Amino acid sequence: MLGIIMAGGQGTRLQPLTDTRPKPMVEVLGRPVIDFVKEAMLAAGITEIVVTTGYRGEQLGQHVDGWNDPANGIQARINQEAVPMGTAGSVGLLREHITDTCIVGSGDGIASFDIAALLQAHRDNGAKVTMALWEVEDPTEFGIVGLGSTPNGTVDSSLRSGFIRRFKEKPTVEEAFSNVINAGLYILEPEVFDHIPSGEKFDFSKQLFPKLLELDWPMYASTIDGVWFDVGLPSELLRAQTTLLTNGHELPYTLPETYVLRDGCLVSNTAAVAGRVSDSVVGKNVNLGLTSVLEGSLVMDGCVLDEGAVVIDSVLGRGVQVQANARLERCVVGDGASIGAGEILTDSKIR
C-alpha cells in the first residue's frame, strides 16, 4: 500500500525557524515533525512512502533518503512540485502511481493515528474517503465536520464516528454544528483522483471533499484518541513538546538514540549541561553554561547559553548564541543568531 505525506508548505507563522528549513523539518523531541506521520504509516505496515515537497524540498529529499530500508522492504522518495499545487493538487501529481487504496497524511502535524483501525473502518463502511478527526473545545478556528449515522443521514453533533454529511470552515459559535475537525489524515480510493483537476491548485478540504459530498459519494470519518497538534505556531510547538514528554509512550514514535530522558527533559548525550534545565529539549552539542537557566524551551543543535543566560518558553534554532546574562522569554530565534550580553527580549522573533 502506498503512503503519501504532504510536505510542501513553507510555514510562515514559524518564521524565522522556517527561513532555513521547511515546516515539516522543524524538530519536536529531537526529530523532524514529518517523522511522526511516517512512523504511524510504518506501524500500519505501509512500506512505500512518497513525500510531496515544495519549499526547500532538497532538505526533505536528503532526510527521506534515510528512510529507505531495503532489508525490511521500505522504499521512500520525494516528488517535488515545480509550483505550489495545493494539498489535493500535489497528491494528484501522483495519480498514475495510485492504483489501489492509499493513505495520505500531513507532514507538519503530530497525532495519535491508528491507521490500521481507520483502514478497517474505511473498508467496513464501503467508503471512497475516510478522514481522521479530532475533537476540539472551540471549533471556530477550524474547519468542522458534521457526521450522520448513515450515508444520507442528518447531522448528529453527538457522533464521533460516522458518515460525513457537512463541512464548514471557521464557523461562528452560532453556526457550529459540530466540534470535530479534520485531523489531516485520509484514506482514499483511486477513483477519487479523477476529480482532482490536472495542472491547477486544488485543496482537499475546501474543494475536493465538498465536491464528493455533492456527488453523494460515501465518505466516512472517525475521531482519534490521544493527542493532535498542528505545530504551525511556536507556542503550539512547545505545547506539543511538553505533552509528548509527559505522554509520549502512547504514540507510535521512537526517541532518537542519541537522546536521554532526564528529569522531565529530553537531552542529547552530546550536550554539556552546567546550568538548570526544566521541561525542555536540549539538542546535540549544546553548551549550557554555569548559572544559565532553561525552562519550557526547545534548544536545537549547536546552541550556546553563556553564564547567567536565561531562556524561558522560547525556541532557539541551530547554532544560536545567548551571551552572558541575556534573557529571552517567549521568543523565537532563527539559526545562527546571536543575543548580546545582558540583552532582555520578550515576545520577539529574532533573525
Q: Could you read off the pLDDT of 40-62 as tens digits, one per residue? A: 999 999 999 999 999 999 999 99
Q: Do 194 and 343 sit in the same domain of this protein? A: no
Residues 294, 309: Cα–Cα separation, whole Å: 8
Question: Considering the entire predicted model, what is its pTM?
Answer: 0.94
Q: Do 65 and 183 sit in the same domain of this protein? A: yes
Q: Do 204 and 329 sit in the same domain of this protein? A: no
| Band of residue 9 on the pLDDT scale cut at 50, 70, 90 | confident
In a domain, 306, yes or no: yes
Per-residue model confidence as pLDDT tens digits over 195-240: 999 989 999 999 999 999 999 999 999 999 988 998 999 999 999 9
| Band of residue 23 on the pLDDT scale cut at 50, 70, 90 | very high
Q: Whole domain around residue 338: which residue ranges?
A: 256-350
Q: Do 268 and 127 sit in the same domain of this protein? A: no
In a domain, 240, yes or no: no
In a domain, 244, yes or no: no
Of 182, 201, 235, the residue that ends a domain is 235
Q: Do 162 and 292 sit in the same domain of this protein? A: no
For CA atoms 134, 138, 144, 148, the dihedral sign is: positive
Q: Do 184 and 40 sit in the same domain of this protein? A: yes
Q: Which residues, in sequence order, are CB contacts of 140 under 8 Å at separation 6+?
A: 170, 171, 172, 173, 176
Find the helix or strand (DSSP H, E) in which 64 lies: helix 57-65
Q: Do 228 and 261 sit in the same domain of this protein? A: no
Q: What pLDDT score does 246 carry?
A: 81
Q: Is the pLDDT of residue 252 over 70?
A: no
- Domain containing residue 335: CATH number: 2.160.10
Q: Which residues of 95-108 are buried (b: 16+ CB within 10 A; e: fewer)?
A: eeebeebbbbbbbb
- Domain containing residue 221: CATH number: 3.90.550.10
In a domain, 294, yes or no: yes
Find the helix or strand (DSSP H, E) in which 265 lies: strand 265-268
| Band of residue 115 on the pLDDT scale cut at 50, 70, 90 | very high
Q: Average pLDDT, stretch 289-296?
A: 97
Of 284, 247, 240, 288, nearest to 264 (Cα)?
247
In a domain, 242, yes or no: no
Q: Look at the chain and report how many structural domains it folds into.
A: 2
In a domain, 250, yes or no: no
Q: Do 282 and 321 sit in the same domain of this protein? A: yes
In a domain, 116, yes or no: yes
Mean pLDDT over each residue of the chain, to the nearest integer: 94
φ and ψ at residue 105, rounded to 5 degrees: -135, 155
Q: Do 219 and 268 sit in the same domain of this protein? A: no
For CA atoms 234, 239, 242, 248, the dihedral sign is: negative
